[in-house]
Amino acid sequence: MASEEKDLDKPTGLLQTRFFVTFMLFLGMANAYVMRTNMSVAIVAMVNHTAINDGHEDVMDDECPDANYTEVDHGQDGEFAWNSALQGYILSSFFYGYVITQIPFGMLAKKYGALRFLGYGMLINSVFAFLVPVAAREGGVWGLCVVRFIQGLGEGPIVPCTHALLAKWIPPNERSRMGAAVYAGAQFGTIISMPLSGLLAEYGFDGGWPSIFYVFGAVGTIWSIAFIIWVYEDPSSHPSIDEREKKYINTSLWGTTEVKSPPIPFKGIFKSLPFYAILLAHMGHNYGYETLMTELPTYMKQVLRFSLKSNGLLSSLPYLAMWIFSMGISVVADWMISSKRFNHTQTRKVMNSIGQYGPGLALVAASYTGCNRVLTLAILTVGVGLNGGIYSGFKINHLDLTPRFAGFLMAITNCSANLAGLLAPIAAGNLINNQPTIAQWQKVFFIAAAIYIIAGTFFNIFGSGERQYWDNPDNDVRDNNVLESQTHVSSQEDSTRRRIPAAITANQ
């Protein structure tokens, strides 16, 4: 097959350019998720839990008595009187900005390149992190929502542009592990963000919680500048890449040299069932994942009664499991394909089933564990860990269907998925508003579990790992009459070259 790598020509060694690009994209994804998740921990420290309950004690679930725990949080009062519903809107404001830039940046990246949209977008995101404290203190809920909205706008390019760069840099048989390595940055960022945010909220400067945004804003700014300077759009534009590696990458990516910027086949994409399989899988995953990511710290505080310090640390354990599992299972996925025991379609469906059925069943189980915080945390850790299978499932499946339009396809699915995801904190906030009981949280978990399972089943029925007919370069040539025009121009050039030497000879 034209898309398969030639292993004999594969360059060896760890210091290869595509590995460096993968590493930088990994760090970028980590920074992006830090900017998302730090608010989930910070808001627990920002809120005055006594004030929002008319001077009464912080609303906590009394089904789990204090006597059962060695470290209990009786309520830490912050600066702002925001109830659970308002907190849900604050947490979701980031995603409103995030979703509306997905498709525009996916299209722009296809036309102008993905690199600078990603780098400058994350720079905007990082710089505005410094403004979060002053926005909250001076502008209240709406001031904070505006700044978080702008941060979301800046982060919008991260996923479609990352996908576009992966399509240009990573050969097909390396996509599972390289793609998982990059997107595992999401878990790494969460692992770093949650415990460190908890520590900064308790011990940091300027009142604690503002230091969360100052520290992570500085880190994101440094990464953005380094990315813009050191990373290039594709192997052909890189000034110092080894020629052997450049040839290896370019020859393995079938279709990248025939037509540099073909028109996006909108009709073919929107008639494709495999595309809709990815779309629904992505939407289902985001709803469940955002439920856990934005609401798990609140659940652990209100029901399981962890302290703020422990909250951040223990909330990160499921994402540590997901990070480790996603890296391990991606190697298995690439082996399944390269060994020819499974084709791309079978591999993606197996991996995606693990990644969506696993957390769905775990959420159901966790809703019945009651006050057993050890068992609850263990089940959620296993469930979220299994969620790592999605990176070798639907998440990298865009590149299987359409290497040349993968960034645009990811823009569509990621936009839709985050529209679904932004509903998660709003739904949870309204369900548990002033009623943080196990029964109310069970509803939150059941809804997310059902969505996970339905989405995974749809992908298993209609998903595919085969390159689609609407991304065939031969069709581009036939449809756009490029071959005829190129042949005509080439004939004219040949004729001109023949006439010029003849005229010179005659004059001599």
Q: Break the chain into its structural domains and give their ranges.
A: 16-57+76-238, 268-480
pLDDT tens, residue by residue, 337-395: 888 899 999 999 999 999 999 999 998 998 888 778 788 888 888 988 999 999 999 99
**Structure confidence at residue 72 as a pLDDT band (50, 70, 90):** very low
Share of the chain above pLDDT 90, in %: 33
Q: 386 with 408: CB under 8 angstroms?
A: no
The values of phi and psi at residue 292, to 5°, are -70, -45
Contacts for 5-11 with beta carbons within 8 Å, 24 or more apart? 5/171, 5/172, 5/173, 5/174, 5/248, 5/252, 6/248, 6/251, 6/252, 9/244, 9/247, 9/248, 9/251, 10/248, 11/242, 11/244, 11/245, 11/248
Report pLDDT for 357. 96
The encoded tokens of residue 32 equal 């992006």
- Cα separation, 256 vs 159, in Å, equals 21
Across 478-506, average pLDDT: 42
Q: 5 with 173: CB under 8 angstroms?
A: yes
Report pLDDT for 304. 72
Pick the CATH number of 16-57+76-238 from 1.10.730.10, 2.60.40.10, 1.20.1250.20, 1.25.40.80: 1.20.1250.20
Q: Is-same-fold flag (16-57+76-238; 268-480)?
A: yes
Across 16-31, average pLDDT: 94
Report pLDDT for 128. 95
On the question of pLDDT at 335 being above 80, the answer is: yes
- Among 42-51, 179-188, 292-301, 424-433, the minimum mean pLDDT is found in 292-301
User: Over the range 362-398, which residues count as b (16 or more CB within 10 Å of their CB) and which as e?
Assistant: bbbbbbebebebeebbbbbbbbbbbbbbbbbbbbbbb
Q: Which carries the bigger pLDDT value, residue 99 or residue 271?
A: 271
User: Across the chain, what does the average pLDDT equal?
Assistant: 81
Report pLDDT for 496. 43
On the question of pLDDT at 311 being above 70, the answer is: no
Across 138-151, average pLDDT: 91
On the question of pLDDT at 456 being above 50, the answer is: yes
Report pLDDT for 418. 80
CATH number belonging to domain 268-480 = 1.20.1250.20
On the question of pLDDT at 259 being above 50, the answer is: no
- Cα separation, 460 vs 252, in Å, equals 28
Report pLDDT for 489. 39
The encoded tokens of residue 482 equal 């490029």
Report pLDDT for 91. 83
Report pLDDT for 114. 87
Q: 411 with 105: CB under 8 angstroms?
A: yes
pLDDT tens, residue by residue, 166-215: 888 988 778 888 888 898 888 788 788 877 887 888 888 888 889 999 99
The encoded tokens of residue 341 equal 């025991």
**Structure confidence at residue 153 as a pLDDT band (50, 70, 90):** very high
**Structure confidence at residue 219 as a pLDDT band (50, 70, 90):** very high
Q: Residue 214 in 3-state DSSP?
A: helix
